[in-house]
């Protein structure tokens, strides 16, 4: 398996466990991951994982620095970062979880921070962009924005865990969603057991 250069971005929707599971698996497999976290994303990490967010990127290096992959953290306001340019080759970008506000800005080409700028670059360069929205119920505005992005080639992967895997713990459901993202990326994994049919 070839080493990929990927961007993983966390916005402020509930669902930080999905992002952490995906990040851990990518780094465990030795990929290069450029990480972005919005201000609201840091708030979610504090609420859902009790992370001391004043430490910022250091907590990611402390948690994942032992893995064989390469982790590169970019401040969300650094619009001069490497990943903001189309000349910097990125294999794919994943926004997980993705708020409806972030999704709307991406759908309309609004780039007010590094996450939105990088997503805009992925679309204009026709590179894989995966959004994992986590919201319910969905309004017609949300659905129209998703359709607009899907028509532009963006993969929309709602955080909808399946039950055919017979989950016994919340981690099983988290791993399923992260695994679906890896499926789209063409990265082999063992985060969940694929459906093989039953007699």
> Could you read off the pLDDT of 10-19 as tens digits, one per residue?
999 999 999 9
Using pLDDT thresholds of 50, 70 and 90, give the confidence band for residue 1: low
Per the structure, the complete domain to which residue 48 belongs is given by: 5-159
Stretch 24-36: mean pLDDT: 98
What's the total number of domains in the chain? 1
Stretch 145-152: mean pLDDT: 98
Using pLDDT thresholds of 50, 70 and 90, give the confidence band for residue 162: very high
37-73 residue pLDDT tens: 999 999 999 999 998 877 788 999 999 999 999 999 9
Question: Percent of the chain having pLDDT more than 70?
Answer: 99
Known binding residues: 12-14, 38, 99-102, 134, 164, 180
For residues 194 and 165, the answer to whether their CB atoms sit within 8 Å is no
Which of these, 33, 10, 150, 21, lies nearest to 83 by C-alpha position? Answer: 33
Using pLDDT thresholds of 50, 70 and 90, give the confidence band for residue 196: confident
Which of these, 172, 142, 170, lies nearest to 158 by C-alpha position? Answer: 142
- For residue 129, what pLDDT is reported? 98
- For residue 128, what pLDDT is reported? 98
Q: How many residues are listed for the chain in this entry?
A: 199
Look at residue 101 and tell me if it is in a domain.
yes
Look at residue 155 and tell me if it is in a domain.
yes
Helix axes 100-107, 140-151, angle to 10 degrees: 50
Look at residue 192 and tell me if it is in a domain.
no
Distance CA 7, CA 118 (A): 9
Using pLDDT thresholds of 50, 70 and 90, give the confidence band for residue 199: low
33 pLDDT more than 90: yes
21 pLDDT more than 90: yes
Judged on CB neighbours under 10 Å (0-12, 13-18, 19+), 141 is: exposed
Average pLDDT, the chain: 95
Look at residue 57 and tell me if it is in a domain.
yes
Q: What is the CATH number of the domain that holds 102?
A: 3.40.50.1950
Known binding residues for FMN: 12-14, 38, 99-102, 134
Known binding residues for dimethylallyl phosphate: 164, 180
């Amino acid at each position: 398996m070839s080493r990929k250069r990927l961007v993983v971005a966390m916005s402020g929707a509930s669902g930080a466990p999905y992002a952490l599971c995906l990040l851990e698996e990518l780094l465990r497999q030795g990929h290069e991951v450029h990480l972005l976290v919005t201000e609201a994303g840091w708030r979610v990490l504090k609420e859902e994982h009790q992370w001391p967010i004043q430490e910022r990127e250091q907590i990611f290096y402390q948690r994942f620095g032992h893995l064989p992959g390469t982790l590169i953290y970019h401040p969300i306001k650094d619009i001069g970062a490497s990943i903001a340019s189309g000349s910097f080759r990125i294999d794919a970008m994943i926004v997980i979880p993705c708020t409806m506000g972030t999704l709307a800005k991406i759908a309309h080409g609004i780039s007010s921070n590094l996450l939105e700028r990088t997503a805009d670059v992925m679309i204009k360069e026709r590179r894989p962009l995966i959004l994992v929205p986590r919201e319910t119920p969905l309004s017609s505005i949300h659905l129209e924005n998703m359709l607009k992005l899907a028509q532009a080639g963006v993969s929309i992967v709602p955080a909808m865990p399946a039950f055919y895997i017979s989950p016994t713990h919340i981690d099983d459901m988290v791993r399923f969603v992260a695994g679906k993202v890896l499926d789209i990326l063409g990265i082999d994994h063992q985060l969940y057991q694929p459906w093989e049919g039953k007699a």
